[in-house]
Chain A
């Protein structure tokens, strides 16, 4: 007689436990009579129309069982994607269902159970994706599909009854204005750091005397807390604005975006310069000798041999800077530099958490997307390099 053996997936046990707690014990949505009063918790069955609540519970239970047992990766992928999609669509349904007819003050927001479910299924998805070992292009494709799906949900208006989007509706214009400031700060300071940092890194690589000095100074800049560095640049820039003709016309002012830009630029220099130095130092001696033997000039060697070989390491530095800058740009709001931090700090000041989310969610999403994109690009350049040098 054959004995059926049920084998459990170790991570699946953890995930299934989180799902069970989040689905049956934790609140799914929070109902508040207005924006800042404390909320009342609502379970899945209370937040959704009669037939839909049990349907969601059924989906969650099936997905939890798939996670719990040792199942094929494709099945696990499908379970996590379907559960995440169901949660994303149904939280919007819960929003409209819980909002009393014609009431514009009531606020519905996702509660801890919803976030835990999202966390559990993201964990499952991350595990599947790691095990599938996707190619860089497939990862980029996945990112595009996820972005499109979220864009579609936003455009369809199915989330409009949720509190965070009500905060957005009140501030739609300033949201996009602050968003573009945020992106300009993060990308502009990165571009400036690359333009200055690459030559500086090459100089450090070629001239030993510079290396220790430059890297020490850049290291010390990193130890200055960001809010202090932002503040300290106010004075010199204010002086430049009033004493250098034309500087004020260029938008250089003591407070606002200029000190924030400069501070982000200064923080960005170390990873760019250090990785350029490390990348160039890692170029195999044989490659350099061969290039010299072929009669290449110093400049040809730099651009034809050293630079392409060091490129993946330099890109890693750029990835660090970009993710870090997107996060740090939130602090610019403290000195009037704008960016999504404006909503975060306003929200903290008013204890309006939906406003905090309005600032924090796009920041996290951008940093996350930037990390995925640059990781994929780094892997592509690194494999290309291996193929070429093999």
Chain B
């Protein structure tokens, strides 16, 4: 029973491009409007000026840009991770949808540039550890805990902190390595389109295994560097996992959402409810996994009740500003997907998946908001037009790059040795 598969291509239409550019335009407008409104009524925050650092709209913009940098970088690299995982696990069911997460990787070079530039522009406001007087024993600002972490940020051998060379080198190294492995994987995938056979598949499997090991280490370190070091005193050994879990479930939800979108356009004819069922199970399972990781980190800190650890949750939970979002985060990312995706039919038909996946995608933006904002903006944080606007700008640009990349190659690999298995995939 062999089915003939026609090569399908995604057409990134002028209309779709225009819609995304309009989204970016609305984002810019909302961001500017938000900044203007903030400055008009901006004199009620006088208490903030006493702390030495005056709060201004630049800080808030910087933090919002940083949230988006982390969030979309994560989706991009975890897209490549999903792709690599299919080869390492020799998965067959996913043959029809593998090109979608692969396209996410196209955002990586832009993400790298954006992150590096925003580190140079906003880094000093974002990261408390960039302040040099923390390492000066003669200064009253001297902080022995941060001083002990000096080597990790600046340079293992440097006596005095100057530019955080080690930190920037890691950032460049991670992005370079990720981008290099992504382009190699993509090249092999497209080579398979032309040459057929199984050689490309075996090469991809080998490369994927290497990628997975590298990704395991680098994604954790990236999470410490870019997110955890904001709360410089605080640390959690679960943090790498926590950030990864959030990235992973967001990416899975986005793959599902784009798959459904493409199917509704009449594309991806080889993907049916059995494949949706599997990817839906992924979203369901990893929403639970995220909650498990989140709770594991929380419970130990809650139960041990050591002040240097509990401060992280005091700032987020026992706080008027963030307290509500703290529970919204759990509700959107655990309670809703857990209950809504539990029935079998919810995962096999698009109606509920189409509602739940955007919730999960948005919910994890909030998760990153909660990781980054309380530590950087403290009581000056908020949520409003600037947050929403920057999210639209980044989201629009990300989708533009990804869909553009997706339109450059066939939607699924016609020579994939796993394609036949995927065509006959059947889930009970």
On whether the two chains bind one another, the answer is: no
